Amino acid sequence: MDLICNSYANDSDDELEPVASDRLTSGITAAPSIPSKRPYPVPEERQYKPPRRQYPPHGSYSESQTSSSVSVPIPVPVPGRYVSKREKSLLASVSTIPTQDQSSDLNQKPSSSPTVLGSISDSDVPRHVLSSVTHRPKGSSLRTEMPSRMSISLTGHTKAVTAIDWSTSHVHLLSSVGLDGVVYVWNVWSNDKKKVRAFLHHNAPVKDVKWSKQGLSLLSCGYDCTSRLFDVERGVEIQSFNEDQVIGVVKFNPDNCNVFLSGGSKGSLRLWDIRANKVVHEYIRDLGAILDVEFIAGGKRFISSSDVSGRNISENAVIVWDISREVPLSNQVYVEAYTCPCIKRHPQDPVFIAQSHGNYTAIFSTNPPFKLNKYKRFEGHWVAGFPIKCNFSPDGETLVSGSSDGSIYMYSYKSTELIKKLKAYEQPCVDVTYHPVLPNVVAACSWNGQVSVFE
């Protein structure tokens, strides 16, 4: 008895006796405390548990639970509450489903556009270039001079360059497109970066590019069956025009920059209104692939050139169309069995030329009946096998043409005689064009991806 009394002599009268788990009742509001002097632990399952809440039906979670952005599963809100497998899977899925703000961020493009590579400012343009542009009397044209050497080389394309075009409103900018699917804009005389824009929106080779006469807008087309309009100043795509054919050529109407003409591989010609993003006229005829188009008569008519090599219908190689009536005015302009990859009208005289795969350039009248001039043609360069293009100088005195032998050929318009031959590339020179203001500057491109400026 003495031993028993001594063992309980130090215990406080206020201490609670250990309570068995089966004596717990719903009226108890706090978990019992266990004296430290009686060190037998109470199992976790015997600790106090609050009354079980009714399990919410599937899909009844509050919006605040499902819309919060978390990276780990949401913890159970009440400790000890049973969580079913369905609830566990739902709570785990909340951490992987993007919220409304996150999903909108995924759909947005990055704020810094990779298309902007440099400045399009004319601050680095040489003084003689700016003075020629700013002090030239309105409507006057300088006499064309012959470039003699390559002054600037523009590198960037990894495959053949198919077309180049000078901007007429910002004459220090040159655009180029190629089979690598890229549209480049070059600040030709810049001392810093010359490649200032790179539009990567086409997912296939690009065939043609044209500047708009108003503003810094650029139109391109290609094998992805789209024509795309770009804002060069901001470096973004403005619009996309989808078709059911590979688009080989685009051309702005000379009197209305909101309208452009497109021609494709299925022989379809479509006149697009940019403001409505729809086709306003379509010109249908059993033609081969459209190779080139050119407006005449102030934009009321246009000329189309199509591939006739596999059709034996040579009279459809060059056709003159009426824009509003959607009918051909003549389909027997050029009756030789050669395709014509390039059509250009003269800047002053009522004539146009057609680059022929017969290794010459033919001359036609823009007035009905659109006769071929049988006594004059430009010969000497090579065209066969490549889409070689040609262009007139701004004053119309000179015709410049590329060639499959890699040279640039310059002819007198009046006499059709060869004035100068300039070796430019080892591979075919595909496109060549005079600067719209400077009479001695010519840009050219090659089948091996080179773009060059000659002065």
The sign of the dihedral angle between the CA atoms of 143, 144, 147, 152 is positive
- The pLDDT score that the predictor gives to residue 310 is 63
The sign of the dihedral angle between the CA atoms of 126, 128, 133, 134 is positive
- The pLDDT score that the predictor gives to residue 135 is 57
**Residue 116 DSSP symbol:** B
Query: 330 pairs with which residues across the strands?
Result: 320
E strand residue ranges, 55-180: 150-154, 161-166, 173-178
Q: How far is CA 374 from CA 88, 355, 359, 366, 377, in A?
A: 87, 15, 15, 15, 8
Cα(434)–Cα(393) distance, rounded to whole angstroms?
6
Considering the entire predicted model, what is its pTM?
0.74
Helix H or strand E segment including 66: helix 63-67
- The pLDDT score that the predictor gives to residue 267 is 92
Residue-wise pLDDT tens digits, 246-304: 999 999 999 999 999 999 999 999 999 999 999 999 998 888 899 999 999 999 999 99
What is the number of alpha carbons within 13 Å of residue 455 lying toward its C-beta? Answer: 9
Q: pLDDT truncated to tens, each residue of the chain (455 aa)?
A: 454 545 444 544 444 444 444 444 444 444 444 444 455 444 444 444 455 545 444 443 333 343 334 444 444 445 555 666 666 666 565 444 444 444 433 333 333 457 899 999 988 787 777 776 665 555 455 556 678 789 999 999 999 999 999 999 999 999 999 999 999 999 999 988 899 999 999 999 999 999 998 879 999 999 999 999 999 999 999 999 999 999 999 999 999 999 999 999 999 999 999 999 999 999 988 888 999 999 999 999 999 999 877 665 667 789 999 999 999 998 889 988 889 999 999 999 999 999 999 999 999 999 999 999 999 999 999 998 899 999 999 999 999 999 999 999 999 999 999 999 999 999 999 999 999 988 889 999 999 999 999 99
- The pLDDT score that the predictor gives to residue 309 is 72
Backbone angles phi, psi at 132, to 5 degrees: -65, -35
- The pLDDT score that the predictor gives to residue 68 is 38
Closest CA to 316 of 330, 302, 297: 330
Cα(404)–Cα(82) distance, rounded to whole angstroms?
81
Helix H or strand E segment including 444: strand 442-446
Measure the CA dihedral 416/420/426/427, to 10°. -20
CB 210 within 8 A of CB 229: no
Going edge to edge, which strands form the sheet with 418-423?
A: 390-392, 398-401, 407-412, 418-423
